Structure formats: C-alpha cells, structure tokens
Structure 1
Amino acid sequence: MFLNDTLALWSAVSTPPLLATVAAEYSPIILSGVLLTLVTIFIASKIGSEVAKQLDFPPVLGELVAGVIVGVSALHLVIFPEGGLAATDSLLMTALQALNQLSPEGIETVFESQSEVISVLAELGVIILLFEIGLESDLRQLKEVGIQAIVVACVGVAAPFAAGTAGLMLVFHVAAIPAIFAGAALTATSIGITSKVLSELGQLKSKEGQIIVGAAVIDDVLGIIVLAVVASLAKTGEIDVTNVIYLIVSATVFLIGSILLGGFFNKAFTSIVAKLKTRGNIIIPAFIFAFFMAFLGNAIHLEAILGAFAAGLVLDESDARDELDELIKPIADLLVPIFFVTVGARADLGVLNPTVPENRAGLLIAVFLVVVAVIGKLVTGWAVFGIPGVNRWAIGVGMIPRGEVGLVFAGIGAASGILDKPLQVSIIIMVILTTFVAPPFLRVAFGESVETAPPIESTSE
C-alpha cells in the first residue's frame, strides 16, 4: 500500500494536472509495470555481464549489449516514450494492458509514469557510479606519477576532443553543441579495463603502467569537468563565451575546492561515523554527503555527477575508505546496471542500417568517431618525454578504451535531448569497439617485454 501511494504521489507531481487523477487511479498497475521492467533489466544485465565475463570482456559491455537486445533495437521489452514511441510498441505494456483490460489511454498513462520512475532510478545509478569512480581514483597515486601522467592525460583529452568536434562540424555539418558533446565523449579513458589487463600482464607497476593508470585517472577528472560544462551548455542551447568561461571556472573550482577541503570533510565524516552505533553508520553519512554534493553541483548549474565524483574523491582519503568501498558495492550492483541497460535500450541501431540511404551519413559518423577515438589516444604515447626506452605504443593503446565513462556521456546526452539518434548510437558503437579492441592490442603492445618484466609486489587492481 505504501508503494502504491508513493507511485500515486510520483505520478501526480510528474504528470500534467489534468492527468494526475488518472495516473493516481492506475498506480497499482504503474507499480506492476515498474517491477516487471526491473525484472527484465536485472535478468538482461546478469546474462549480459556473465557472457561478457566468459569471453574475457568487461561486464559493463555485456550489460550495454543486453540493453540493446531488450530495447528498441530488438525485443522491445524496455523502451521509453522518447522519439515518439507508444505503449503499444512495448511488449511489457501490451501484456499489462491485456492482464488488466486497460483502455488505450490508460496504458499510455501507465507507460509514461513507469518510464519516469525507471529513468529516475537510472539517474540515481549514474550518480552512484560516479561516486564509486571517485572513491577508486587514488589521489596519492596521481601525485606519484607526476608530470608525465598529466601531460599524457592532457594530450589524450585535447587531441580527440578537438579532432572529433572539428570533424563533426566541418565534414558532417553537425550543429556546434551536439558536436562538442560528441567530441567530449571521446575524451575519457576506462581505468578499470586498462588496469585489469596491465595487472594480468604483470605491467601494472612498470613505468608504462604507472603512466597509463595515472593518466587514466586524470582523464576521468578532466572528462567529468568537460561533461559538466557541455551538459550545462546543452541546457541553454547556445554557446555564450562568458557562460563557457563561468562553467569551466566553476567546475574546476568546485572540484579542486572539494579536494582542498577534503581534510575538513574527512574529519567531520570520521567523527560522525564514530558516534553512530546503528546499522548504516558508514554508508548513510557517505550517501548524505554524496547526494548533497550532487545537489550543489546542480545548484551552480553544473551536473549532479560532478558533485558525486567530487564526494568520492574526498572520501577516498578517509579512514573508513576500505569499508566504504565494500558497503557501496551492493548498492552499485543494484542501481548501476539500470543505467547501463537503459542506455543500451534507448539506442536504436536501426538508424545505422546501411541499406537505408538516409542512414549512411550516421554510419560514416560512427566510423569517423571510432578512428578519431583510436588515433586521438595513440598519439599520447609520443607525449612522454625524458624516459629512455619507454614503450610508447603500449601507453597509447592503454589509453584507448572508453568503457563506462564514455557510456555516461552517451546516456546524459540522450537524456538531455542534445544528441539525435544517429549521433547517440555512433558514440555507443565507439565505446563498444574501443573497449573491445584495447585489451588484445595492449597484450600485443607489451608482447616483447612481458617475459622480461620486473617482478611486482601486487597484481591487484
């Protein structure tokens, strides 16, 4: 009863006033729709991640591909109203309509309301994902690798961003803001995927490995700042130089200020945790901090994910960090797959069907983004200086995979409406291909030196 009342309230505040009463009437069926959709998402995510793991690929890509299969591109089990889709296009909604004998208007209300709930859960998932990434971004490691990693990261962000944005605008005549957003999606590097492969090769503590991992962490930081800026630009719909400068400065000050004040926040967090004696004494204060920082990010016209990422960076230095890492995993395991599956579910691969003449331009954009994504990171190996005998190919290849951060760009771009379907799908294809090709290429790049690699103390991620 409580859940039904909650959904009725949610429907009332998220639906136009004339429809609020109707939505409240259907709240038990809306709950059924939400539950059935979540069952579908969780089954798809687990099957996809397990298959990907068996094939030695990152589980997150399995979740993405599973989303594509259950979404608008294939099975039509998980779809959303965007793009003119109706309840009759969803097999789940059709089943609910038959079971409850709903009118066409009634099932449309159920469809729109349950889609809103799933979208909010996906947004919470991405906030928790960025909080978790912040916790895993070791600031002490950044200090150790120093200037080399910073140079590599800056080149790895600037080169694909500039080439991607310019190419989309000049060659494909994409509007400025969507082109900037797509160019920004090329900037990030997946530290999780690269670290895993480096660990398996025994190269995690090598000079190349240290540079790659450090640069990947900095890439994520720079990428989140870029994402906050371009997503905020998308809200205004125009490029105002003053506004751009404000966004860049405010995002940078917000992130650096949070880190500099980390000592104070950590002491307060540790003190609060020590005084609490009931269940959730660590995880609840942590999420209060993360959600409040996410709120602040939104309040200054940036993105909530920037605040969540900053919160993770700050709490990474706390005494309870290891325990917090373990406590956040079950929550992330529950909500983050909703985000990745819905990103895949929203991607209509049909818009890249080459047999349809209108789709060929989108397919060319996808090829262009993949090429820029690969070359834009390969050049980072030649940004390293002052280290004789360094494996520049290995550094460049190690920076290629985009992974989960690239999908965050695609998801937010689609949700904001700034990316049309061909451009959104092109970004997803870029993320998939760069993440698939990087691990085997990294093994090849290190092939000559694996046997002579120095022993390392630990091969943990």
Structure 2
Amino acid sequence: MFTYPPIPLLATETTANLGPMILAGVLLSLIVIYLASKLGGEISRALNLPPVLGELVGGVVVGASALHLLVFPESGASATDSVLMSFLQLVAGLTPEALPEVFNTQSEVISVLAEIGVIILLFEIGLESDIRELKEVGYQAAIVAVVGVVAPFTAGTVGLMLLFHVPTIPAIFAGAALTATSIGITSKVLSELGYLKSKEGQIIVGAAVIDDVLGIIVLAVVASLAKTGTVDILNVVYLIVSATVFLLGSIFLGKFFNKSFVAVSDLLQTRGKLVIPALIFAFFMAFLANIIQLEAILGAFAAGLVLDETDKRKELDQQVVPIADILVPVFFVSVGAKVNLGVLNPFVAENRAGLIIATFLIVVAIIGKIITGWTVTGQEKINRLAIGIGMIPRGEVGLVFAGIGSASGVLSQSLEAAIIVMVILTTFMAPPLLRFAFKEPAQTVEKLQNADVAN
C-alpha cells in the first residue's frame, strides 16, 4: 500500500502562524481601499462628476501608478514592491522569508472580495433596470443602442488588429470595452438640465438601458473567450446564444419565481429575511452562469432583473445598497490600483505605441457613440448631436469591462491602461459636452415642440 510522505510539522505551524500577519495585511489593504474610495468619491462629487470615477482615480493613486500601497502579483508586482508589506515588516516583525506568502495570500483575499463586489454591483444594476421601461422605449432607442454597441466594437476590434497588430482576444476585449454606456451619468446631467423627459432624454435613457443589457451579454461572451484563449466560431455562437437564452429564460421563469420568493421572505422572521434570500438567489444564478461557461456577473444581473419584478423591489433595493457600499469600492479601487499609467509615459520611447493606442480608443469611443444620434429617423427637430453625446460616457460599466479584462490576464499593461484612460476621459468630457449640445433652455424647447404639435 502506497503511503504519502509525512508533511513536516514545522511547515504546518509556520503557515498557521502566518494567519495573523495575513489578516493584518488584509485589514491594512481595506483601510487603504476605503480611504481612497471615500476621498476620491468626495472630490469627484465636488467636481460634479460621478463618485465611482473618483474611486477609480483613488485606486490609481494608491496603486502601481503612484504610492504602491496596494499592488498585486498578477500585475507583475512582488512583495518588496508593496509599501504595506514593508510597514508590516517594520511594526509587526514580518520576516523576509514569510513576506512572499503573506503578500500573495493577502492579494488573493482582496481579489476575491473585489470579485464578490462586482457580482453585487451587477445584481444592483439588474435591480435598477426596469424591464417595463425596456418594452416602452420603442424602436428608436433600440436602434440607437444597437448601433452604439456594434459600431465602436467593430471599429475598435478591427482597428486594433489591423493597425496595431494586437492579438485577437485582447483586441476583442478592448473593442467590447468601447460598447458600454453609463446611464447613471447621462441621466443625472439630463435631469439637471431639465431634459430628462424630452424626446432626446427618453431616447438616450432608453438606449442606455438596452445598451447595458447588450453590454452584459457582450462582456459574458468575451470573458468566456478569454478563459479558453482561442476564437472558435462555433464557440462564439454558442456563447452568444447561451447568454441570450440564459438572460431571457431567467426573466421569463422569474415571473413564476417572484411569488414564491415573496412568500418565503414573508414566512421568515429573523433579520435579513429579505436580503439574505435575495443574495442566495443572486449567488446561485452567478454560480449557474459560471458552470455553463458564462461569466458569473451575467447570472447576478439576471437575478436583479428577475427580482426587479417583485412587489418588494424598493425595499430590497434599499437593503442591497449598504452591502454594495462595502464591497463595490473594493472592486473599483482594485481596478485602479492594478493599472500602471507609467506605461503611457510619452517620454519613454517604448511607451509611445501604447499612448497611440489610447488615442485611437478615445477617438473610436467618441465617434462610435456620436453617430448613433443620426440613426434616429422621423424626428425633424430632434437634437441628434445631444443624443450621440449622451451615449459617450462609459463610467462604471466601462470599468467593469476593464476589471474583468485585468482579472483574466488577457490585456497587456499598455492596453489595460489605454482602456482606463478612455473610460476616464469619456466620463469627464460627457457632462460639459452635453450641456453644450443643449444650448436652448429646456422650457423653450418644450414650448417649440408643443407649438409643432398644435400646428
């Protein structure tokens, strides 16, 4: 009978003794993450920009691009690059021999928390995406959304492959990152300008909602391609069909599940009687999507869409927010921390190619969305430029693409940094450009539209 060699007791004890050090590293990392997210978010809010953008920039500051407080081995960093590990050596007596294991394990824990954070984020987005609105926005918004996905994706992917000789999988991922539209940013600006209920506003918001759904399907497909590492046409067709069927099937079956969910939550009497069953459902759907070769976030998004139809949606929405407040910043700050913007430094000769790619992505990101305004037909006096500009900001949705791409390891440092720069610039420029596009006060436009109807 074969016997395994005995494991040295000392090694087991050493690993066990590292537990407190690993916990200390995780706690220090979370302190840095929450400080960066809060300070960045508050500064961004003060500048009338979305707080999530501040969280990303905060991550860039504390990460590989600047302070090196939060660095990750998958980004090429070692334990000696981490300022937090040096601090643990100084104040807690962490030995040089134990340093790599503590660093790697602490990084894995933060990465897992970030993955859970993005699952919660997509669940929350699903809860906020009203299926009834998707049915009512009409074909105009649907056309704007489809063109806003297909045009930048095609131009970005083909351009990267032909002009810059980027490999197929990374090019597809970067092209997919160009498809996103942030409904939160656009709707906020439209509301401030008084155009949210205008024809332009309704088309923009409706198209952004459909854009989100299409974007999640695209993300699920390209993330699955990243796992296999090859582009097989049959596999691509399978992924597109399975993602669509999974999403539509979940929504259809959700009509029958909703009553059971409400009944179960009403029977429970302890704390968390609503949010815990909801999270069980979200995690189960994420697990289900994952085992059929789709991305877990698609399952979480589908779960949100299903529970959005229940009578307890508003109450559930309120209970999910604090959970998202805790976990989602870990994702966004981690995305920023993993990006090394130094690879786009124009003064270093080998970095200039990456900077050119970033410029290309920004141009495609802007033009690919602006042209959507001219797909609107049958509306003579509609502001087509405003519709196109309203689709430009990538915001948190674009960051999800960048984060998944970073975690999959398919993106080079320069391409990942280029995508992040594209997301930041499109998000920054959209609000002032939208204000410029709507030169007339909302009340004046409304009067002109009413006069046209009367005549």
Measured against the shorter chain, the TM-score band is: over 0.9
Match of 2:239 in 1: 247
The worse-fitting range, judged by mean Cα deviation, of 80-89 and 253-262 is 80-89
Shift of residue 173, structure 1, vs aligned partner: 0.4
Match of 1:337 in 2: 329
Contact kept in structure 2, 1:203 and 1:453, CA below 8 Å: no
Contact kept in structure 2, 1:23 and 1:110, CA below 8 Å: no
The worse-fitting range, judged by mean Cα deviation, of 375-384 and 139-148 is 139-148
- The amino acid that maps onto 1:375 is I
Match of 1:102 in 2: 94
Work out the CA distance in 2 between the residues paired with 1:201 and 1:69: 33
Q: 288, 298, 303: which one pairs with 1:311?
A: 303
Shift in CA distance, 267/19, structure 1 to aligned 2, threshold 3 Å: farther
Shift of residue 108, structure 1, vs aligned partner: 1.0
Work out the CA distance in 2 between the residues paired with 1:223 and 1:121: 23
Work out the CA distance in 2 between the residues paired with 1:83 and 1:105: 22
Question: Can you list the C-alpha shifts for 1:340-385, whole angstroms capped at 9, x where unaligned?
Answer: 0000000000000011110000000000000000000000001111
Work out the CA distance in 2 between the residues paired with 1:312 and 1:235: 25
Work out the CA distance in 2 between the residues paired with 1:24 and 1:162: 51
Give the alignment of 1:19-98 within 5 angstroms: 21=12, 22-98=14-90
What TM-score does the superposition give when structure 1 sets the normalisation length? 0.93
Match of 2:277 in 1: 285
- The SS at the match of 1:35 is helix
- The amino acid that maps onto 1:186 is L
Root-mean-square deviation (CA), in Å?
1.4
- The SS at the match of 2:433 is helix
Work out the CA distance in 1 between the residues paired with 2:187 and 2:10: 50
Give the alignment of 1:87-236 within 5 angstroms: 87-236=79-228
Work out the CA distance in 2 between the residues paired with 1:334 and 1:366: 32
Contact kept in structure 2, 1:152 and 1:215, CA below 8 Å: yes
Whichever of the two has the greater Rg, that structure is 2
Shift in CA distance, 226/83, structure 1 to aligned 2, threshold 3 Å: same
Give the alignment of 1:435-450 within 5 angstroms: 435-450=427-442
Shift in CA distance, 420/454, structure 1 to aligned 2, threshold 3 Å: same
Work out the CA distance in 2 between the residues paired with 1:304 and 1:199: 33
Answering whether residue 372 of structure 2 is matched by residue 380 of structure 1, we say yes
Shift of residue 446, structure 1, vs aligned partner: 1.1
Work out the CA distance in 2 between the residues paired with 1:85 and 1:444: 43
- The amino acid that maps onto 1:228 is A
Match of 1:302 in 2: 294
Answering whether residue 394 of structure 2 is matched by residue 402 of structure 1, we say yes
Question: Can you list the C-alpha shifts for 1:392-450, whole angstroms capped at 9, x where unaligned?
Answer: 01100000000001001101101110001000010000000000000111111111242
Match of 2:418 in 1: 426
Structure 2, gaps ≥5 residues long: 1-5, 448-455
Work out the CA distance in 2 between the residues paired with 1:286 and 1:178: 35
Work out the CA distance in 1 between the residues paired with 2:282 and 2:307: 9
Structure 1, gaps ≥5 residues long: 1-16, 456-461
Match of 2:253 in 1: 261
Work out the CA distance in 2 between the residues paired with 1:198 and 1:153: 18
Work out the CA distance in 2 between the residues paired with 1:222 and 1:146: 16
What TM-score does the superposition give when structure 2 sets the normalisation length? 0.95
Shift of residue 204, structure 1, vs aligned partner: 0.8
Contact kept in structure 1, 2:75 and 2:338, CA below 8 Å: no
Shift of residue 307, structure 1, vs aligned partner: 0.2
Shift of residue 182, structure 1, vs aligned partner: 0.2
Contact kept in structure 1, 2:21 and 2:94, CA below 8 Å: no
Match of 1:325 in 2: 317
- The amino acid that maps onto 1:116 is E
- The amino acid that maps onto 1:441 is L
Work out the CA distance in 2 between the residues paired with 1:306 and 1:102: 41
Shift of residue 86, structure 1, vs aligned partner: 1.3
Identity %: 71
Work out the CA distance in 1 between the residues paired with 2:172 and 2:144: 21
Question: Can you list the C-alpha shifts for 1:82-114, whole angstroms capped at 9, x where unaligned?
Answer: 243111111111010122323222011110000
Shift of residue 19, structure 1, vs aligned partner: 11
Shift in CA distance, 240/201, structure 1 to aligned 2, threshold 3 Å: same
Shift of residue 20, structure 1, vs aligned partner: 7.7
Work out the CA distance in 1 between the residues paired with 2:96 and 2:348: 32
- The SS at the match of 1:104 is coil
